[in-house]
Structure 1
Amino acid sequence: MVEKKYFFYVLLCADSTLYGGFTTDLTRRLAEHNDGIGAKYTRNRRPVQMIYHEEYTEKSAALKAEYAFKHQTRKSKEVFLRQHGVVLNLE
């Protein structure tokens, strides 16, 4: 039996804002965001690029990671990303 995978991901939007999301298919979801049919938040902030993702075997764990990220301050999100090896070059 193939185990289903769930992902928490972070996008860097064209306006340098960060967006956290949840999906079962990273490639499809990134394309949806860049096609303007993803989240309402990213629709006017395109193009977006995926800068981080984590894989989970349980849906609830991925959703909890998304929720926790979305409820952090911008500064805390940047710290989280740095701790996970993501360097933001926003200049």
Structure 2
Amino acid sequence: MYILECANGLYYTGSTNDIERRLSEHQNGEGANFTKKNLPVKLVYFEEFNRIDEAYYREKQIQNWSHKKKKALIESKPQNLHDLAICQNKSHFRNRE
């Protein structure tokens, strides 16, 4: 599972069994449409798994995270992940009071 930072500052999360090949594909405009439109990209984070289905599961988990939460993961700030996972909408705060 890997995270790329695109030229527009946004993150792209994917999974592969060959990170070097996949990164090359992204850089050459042969990857996902999102990265193709936001070149160049750079690899900023990756995790290794024994099975591709585990990597795919982790990819889907992280894809649903906010930009700030992904950044905390990339910057190895696990203490921030919990706080960033807490719902920040108004109804959540009303229900906590």
TM-score by length of 1: 0.79
| Structure 1 residues 84 and 51: alpha-carbon distance in aligned structure 2, compared to 1, 3 A threshold | farther
> CA distance change for structure 1 residues 10 and 84 in 2, over 3 Å: closer, same or farther?
farther
1:48 corresponds in structure 2 to 41
**Secondary structure of residue in 1 paired with 2:14:** strand
**Structure number having the greater helix percentage:** 2
Match of 2:9 among 4, 8, 16: 16
Larger strand fraction of residues? 1
Q: Determine which structure has more spread, i.e. the larger CA radius of gyration.
A: 2
**CA 1:84–1:57: 2 relative to 1, 3 Å:** farther
Q: Which amino acid aligns with 1:56?
A: F
Please, what is the CA RMSD of the aligned residues?
1.5
1:59 to 52, 65, 89: 52
Which has the bigger relative contact order, CA under 8 A and spacing at least 6?
A: 1
In the alignment, is residue 83 of structure 1 matched against residue 76 of structure 2?
yes
After TM superposition, where is structure 1 displaced by more than 4 Å over at least 4 residues in a row? Answer: none
Once the two structures are TM-superposed, the CA of residue 84 in structure 1 deviates from its matched residue by 6.3
Q: Please give the alpha-carbon distance, in whole angstroms, between the structure 2 residues aligned to 1:65 and 1:43.
A: 23
> What is the TM-score with the length of structure 2 in the denominator?
0.75
How far has the Cα of 1:83 moved from its partner? 2.4
Give identity over the alignment, percent: 33
Unaligned 5+ runs, structure 2: 79-97
